[in-house]
Amino acid sequence: MIQLKTITSLCFVVVALLLATSSSGLFARDGYETERREMIAAIRETVDETRSYTGLDALDEQVMQAVAAVPRHEFVPRDLRFAAYLNSALPIGEGQTISQPYIVALMTHLMGVDGDSAVLEIGTGSGYQAAVLARLVRHVYTIEIIETLGRRAEDTLERLGFDNVTVKIGDGYIGWEEHAPFDAIIVTAAPEQVPQPLIDQLKPGARMVVPVGPAFGYQTLQVLEKQQNGDIRETDILPVGFVPFTGEGERTMEIQGSE
C-alpha cells in the first residue's frame, strides 16, 4: 500500500513537472538553453554599457523573462540558427533584419505595457518582437508591408501557439484604425518623421517607441508620450540604426519635402 506521504510527494513531483512545461518554461528544453542564458547576460551587460544614454540600471524583469522564453532561433533563417542568440541583428530576407535582442528588450521595456494592454506594432518582420510582446500583453496587432515576410511571420507565430497576435499585410503608415486607440505603439523601422495617423491612434497617457531619422543616417530611438490634452512629449533615448520605414505615407512625405 502506498502511504499518504508518498502520494503527497508524487503530487508535488507532478505539479513541478506541470510548472516546468507551463508558459514560463515553454521553450526551456529545445537545445538552446546555454545560448539563451548567454544572450540574457549579454543584454544585461549592454544595458549597463548604455546607461549613460538611457538612464536605466536594469530592464523590467518580466520583459527579460519574456525575451528569455521566446525561441529566437525559430524566427531566423535556418542557415543562421547558429547565431540566433547572439546579441546582434540578423538578416531575414527582403533587405530586412531581426532586431538585436537588447533593442527588442529595451523597446519593450520603454512601452510600459501590462497584461491588459492592446498594442500596435508597425513592421512585423520575422515576428520575433510580436512574440515577445505577446507574452506580456492582452493582444498584439502587427502590420507588415512585405507580404512574404508577413505571411512567414504569421505562420511561425501560429505554429508556436501565439494566439493573441493578429498579423495584417498593409501599409503601417496609416496604422490600424479598426482596433485603435492603442495602449502602446512600437515602430520597428525608421521614419524621417513620425506618421500622424499613429499619433492619432495612441491613447492619451500611452507611449509610442520609434526610431526616427533618415534612411541609413543618424537615427534616434524616441519615446513619444501622449498627454491627456493630446500634446506629445518626446524623449530621446539613444542613437540607433534601423532599416528605413516604407509605405505610401513615407513616400508622400519625401516627395513633398523635395519640392
- pLDDT of 129-163, one tens digit each? 999 999 999 999 999 999 999 999 999 999 999 99
**Contact criterion met (CB below 8 Å) for 140 and 130:** yes
Query: Which percentage of the chain shows pLDDT scores above 90?
Result: 81
Cβ-contact 121, 143 below 8 angstroms:
yes
Write the pLDDT tens digit of every residue in 205-256: 999 999 999 987 899 999 999 999 999 999 999 999 999 998 765 544 443 3
Separation of alpha carbons 203 and 185, rounded Å = 10
Q: Is residue 201 within 8 Å of 120, Cβ to Cβ?
A: yes
Residue 38 in any domain: the answer is: yes
103 touches 189 (CB < 8 A): no
SS3 state of residue 244: strand
Structural domain of 108: 31-258
Residue 17 within a domain: no
State the DSSP H helix or E strand holding residue 254, giving kind and residue range, or none if neither.
helix 248-258
Q: Is the peptide bond before 181 cis (omega within 30 degrees of 0)?
A: yes
The closest alpha carbon to 113, from 66, 160, 170, belongs to 66
* Catalytic residue status for 99: yes
Task: Give domain status of residue 3, yes or no.
Answer: no
pLDDT value at 6 more than 90:
no
Asked whether residue 19 is assigned to any structural domain, the reply reads no
What CATH number should be reported for the domain holding residue 77?
3.40.50.150
Q: In this structure, what are the phi and psi dihedrals at residue 157, rounded to the nearest 5 degrees?
A: -65, -40
Among residues 9, 23, 99, 126, the one annotated as catalytic is 99
- Domain count of the chain? 1
The answer to whether residue 234 sits within a structural domain is: yes
- Domain membership of residue 152 (yes or no) is yes
Kindly tell me if the per-residue pLDDT of 165 is higher than 70.
Answer: yes
**Whole-prediction pTM:** 0.85
Q: Does 204 fall in a domain?
A: yes
